[in-house]
Structures are given as C-alpha cells and as structure tokens.
Amino acid sequence: MTGTILKNVELKDAQQIADIYNYYIENTVITFEEKLVTIYDIESRIRKIKQAGHFWLVAEKDEKIVGYAYSAPWRDRSAYRFTSEVSVYLSHTTQGKGLGTLLYQTLFDQLKSTKINTLIGGITLPNDGSIALHEKFGMKKVAHFQKVGLKFNQWLDVGYWQVSLEDLKA
C-alpha cells in the first residue's frame, strides 16, 4: 500500500489496535473473543509479547493504524520455545490491498534473526482470505478441529497452518 509505514508497536498505538480488533469481536467469528478489549488489555498484550522476545508490528497510513501483525510464544513449556504463533489483523476497510502480505513478510524477516524455527497460524474456518495469505508463505494446513468454538450461536471450526522459517515463500 502506497504511503504505508511499518513500525514496531508502541504503547500509544494500543487504542487504535483495540479499535481494529473490537470490530472483529463485535461483527465476525474471526476471533473467539466475545468481550470487547480495552486499551489496557492491548497494552498488557504488547508488554507480554515484547517481554517474551517476540515482535509486534503496526502499519500506519496517514498517521492512522490500519493493521498489525505479531508473533507470540506457541505454548509455555520450554521445548516449545522455538515455535511461534503468528497473527495479522487489518482494518476492515483496508483488506485486499496487500497489507497482510507486507506485514507478514516484515514480521517473518524479523523472526529469521531469532532462534524461532516454526510458525503456526490458527484460522477460524471458513476464511478464504486468511487461508490464501498463510498459504502464500508456504504454510500448510496441519490440523482441523471441528466445532471447538461457539460464537453468535454457531459452532465454529479452527484450522492450523504451519511452516518452518527455512521453508518460507513470498
């Protein structure tokens, strides 16, 4: 996206991030969260991810956050320390313009400087756009859990996509 700046997240970005995420909480099944998040919730999440040595990027256009991507520890147990869960969220008005690809490419490049080996992305199904984005980077579907979430009175499936950093495409 022309005129878009990618940068590392700052705590001052938390409200705009919450606004983007709250759209998905209120209007979609993309996230299983059902209660709106506050600026304080996002600030806490930013701190936790940074303290864990992971990355959180934001995309800014015209001084407004239009998307973000982050990596987070996959699980707490020590042997999982080389695996990262990755997520990307875009303003609902900014989708389909290549911003998700730009955010993920930059995030994945940062992760290559770490000891992380494996990336995992969880996707509420169906979600053709998110599947296409993950597969663009060579991620392969490795799991499908049926009816594991209930939101808006419907049972939802979740799929998991995975790739080793050495096998990344795009």
Spans of the chain below 70 pLDDT: 1, 170
Q: Look at residue 2 in the predicted model and tell me its pLDDT.
A: 74
pLDDT per position as a tens digit, 107-133: 999 999 999 999 999 999 999 999 999
**Within 13 Å of residue 49, how many CA atoms lie on the same side as its CB?**
23
- Output phi, psi for 11, to 5 deg: -60, -30
**In the chain, where the domains are located:** 4-167
In the sheet that holds 154-164, the strands lie side by side as: 4-8, 56-61, 64-73, 83-90, 118-125, 154-164, 140-151
Q: Look at residue 1 in the predicted model and tell me its pLDDT.
A: 58
Q: Look at residue 3 in the predicted model and tell me its pLDDT.
A: 82
CATH 3.30.360.10 fits 4-167, yes or no: no
C-alpha R_g of the chain: 15
Tokens of 150: 């209930």
Task: Report helix, strand or coil for 43.
Answer: helix
Q: Look at residue 136 in the predicted model and tell me its pLDDT.
A: 96
